[in-house]
Amino acid sequence: MISKNKHNTLFLFFIAFTAVSYAQHHNISAGYIPPSDHLVQQNLEEWQDLKFGLFMHWGTYSQWGIVESWSLCPEDEGWTVRRGPHSDNYFEYKKAYENLQTTFNPTAFNPEKWAQAAQQAGMKYVVFTTKHHDGFAMFDTKQSDYKITDAKTPFSSSPRADVTKEIFHTFRDKGFKIGAYFSKPDWHTEHYWWPYFPPKDRNVNYDPAKYPERWNKFKQFTYNQIEELMTNYGRVDILWLDGGWVRPLASVDTTVDWQRTIKVEQDIDMPRIAAMARRHQPGLLVVDRTVPGEFENYVTPEQQVPDKSLDIPWESCMTMGSSWSYVPDDTYKPARDIVHTLIKIVSRGGNYLLNIGPGPHGDWDPDAYDRLQAVGGWMAINSEGIYATRPVAPYNEGDVYYTRKNDGSATYAFMLSTEDTVELPTSVRLPLPGGGAVKRVELLGIGKLRFKETDDALEITIPKNRRQPVDLRYATVFKLTH
């Protein structure tokens, strides 16, 4: 039985905060170093063929329906605002937040249902928050009892309590590549936020140069947790490291707003971590995001699509709702927007990592399933123009976007539509990207069409009976075979 008091508490949180945190915008692309290890190169090529992945932010915070972790951060920003009981007292609040461990019981957890929905939508990889900045481990770490498998957490009695393991195994069985999101900063361990001092901001709250022993313990703690993830969880393809303020001081880019908060050395020894991780997981992609160099195998623009093609591997991570974490009654983006975003990203050479936040009971909002299903309907007809393609100039002309199969065998032209019912004109003139004689033109889902090739364009004729033959919603795709 939930007491009335508890109901009120829940209600308070449910009307709370939905703003997405924009805590880690960064300048992309400067300083990229291509991997030299051929297994990493190969994994990176394969990953670039997949295009569409599922991101999930899930933790004890999902019970309050608040932003992931950030309400613990004593910075005065829109995404750190505390709400609900104890919000007027930082330390009381932190206690209550951490106490969420004792009520977390996501009994509806069913990763098969997620994997099936993601697969049907055409997603090919998954990245899951094994530990966010708050330090709560969604896996069975031996380094801390602030974890889902600890006896204090009700869900620990479930045979599926190690949700990271369950998610990774389930998605891997369906052929997904597996990504472990892991926050380098940890706002729970005394080796990062030493209780002797109050935390001042997102950063370590003591000077590691002055207290090297404590910092070394933090380094070892991080190393050990990552080693657990690299050894007990089967094949892992991507180590997605968040929290770019844990970085060598010399790598700070002071033109980026949030990096100006970094005042002390926070070198965590990435060469050692990456070498260990790749010993266990050969070919592993390491994404030490926002820290350009050897350990950022691809870059990760957040909540945005670069406005042109980038010449390095990249992935836009974006929320399907308004927040990374679950928020009750959130508004989910329409399927049309999702498909259009996917096309834009792929035409510029990137991958799309689309986030859904599971709720407190361990399931998604029905709207998330609904969107994935609609996206899957479009993908079932058109995905061959998405996977295993590379960008081709001019990328787009107005509302027509291009991709090319990476073996050069075909070019795809996506005509975006804003209406559900599309009536095609009697003929379409497509500017022809980057050479390659066209042998055959096909409207995906419909069939072969007559065409004429002029100097720099194709004139495609569309017979009357094919102008409105199926539901061409979201985008119509012409395949030009070379």
Kindly list the residues in this chain that would bind ligand GLC in the complex (CB under 6 A).
21, 23-24, 57, 68, 242, 302, 317, 324
Q: How far is 481 from 410, CA to CA, in rounded Å?
A: 4
Q: How far is the CB of 23 from ligand GLC (least distance, A)?
A: 4
Please give the full DSSP string across 438-464, using - where no structure is assigned: --EEEETTTEEEEEEE-SSEEEEE--G
Q: How far is CA 331 from CA 320, 341, 355, 365, 367, in A?
A: 8, 17, 13, 10, 8
Taking a C-beta distance cutoff of 8 angstroms, is the pair 169, 234 a contact? yes
| Four-residue CA torsion sign, 77, 79, 80, 84 | positive
- Nearest approach, Cβ of 260 to ligand GLC (angstroms)? 16
Q: Is the Cα dihedral 43, 376, 344, 432 positive or negative?
A: positive
DSSP 296: B
CA dihedral 389, 390, 393, 398 (to 10 degrees): 50
21 vs 149, beta carbon nearer ligand GLC? 21
> Shortest approach of ligand GLC to residue 134 CB, angstroms?
10
If one counts every other C-beta atom within 10 angstroms of the C-beta of residue 131, the result is 29
Task: Give the residue with the Cβ less far from ligand GLC, 302 or 365.
Answer: 302
CB atoms within 10 A of CB 15: 12
Q: Name the residue nearer to ligand GLC (CB basis): 315 or 365.
A: 315
Kindly state the smallest distance separating residue 60's Cβ from ligand GLC, in Å: 14
To ligand GLC, the closest distance from the beta carbon of 437 in angstroms equals 43
Least distance between ligand GLC and beta carbon 98 (Å)? 17
How many Å apart are CA 1 and CA 463, to the nearest integer? 65
Taking residue 363's Cβ as centre, other Cβ atoms within 10 Å add up to 18
Contact 265, 251 (CB under 8 A): no
21/43 with CB nearer ligand GLC: 21
Interatomic CA distance for residues 164 and 160, integer angstroms: 9
Phi and psi (nearest 5°) for 433?
-75, 145
CB closer to ligand GLC out of 68 and 140? 68
CB of 300 to ligand GLC, least distance (A): 7
In the bound state with ligand GLC, the residue whose beta carbon lies nearer, of 221 and 324, is 324
CB count in 10 Å sphere of residue 277: 24
Q: CB of 348: closest distance to ligand GLC in angstroms?
A: 19
Q: Based on CB atoms, which residue is closest to ligand GLC, 13 or 245?
A: 245
Query: Residue 246 to residues 65, 215, 221: CA-CA distances in angstroms?
Result: 27, 11, 14
Q: Output the smallest distance, CB 25 to ligand GLC, in A.
A: 8
Nearest to ligand GLC of 353, 386 (CB atom): 353
Q: Which is nearer to ligand GLC, 127 or 430 (CB)?
A: 127
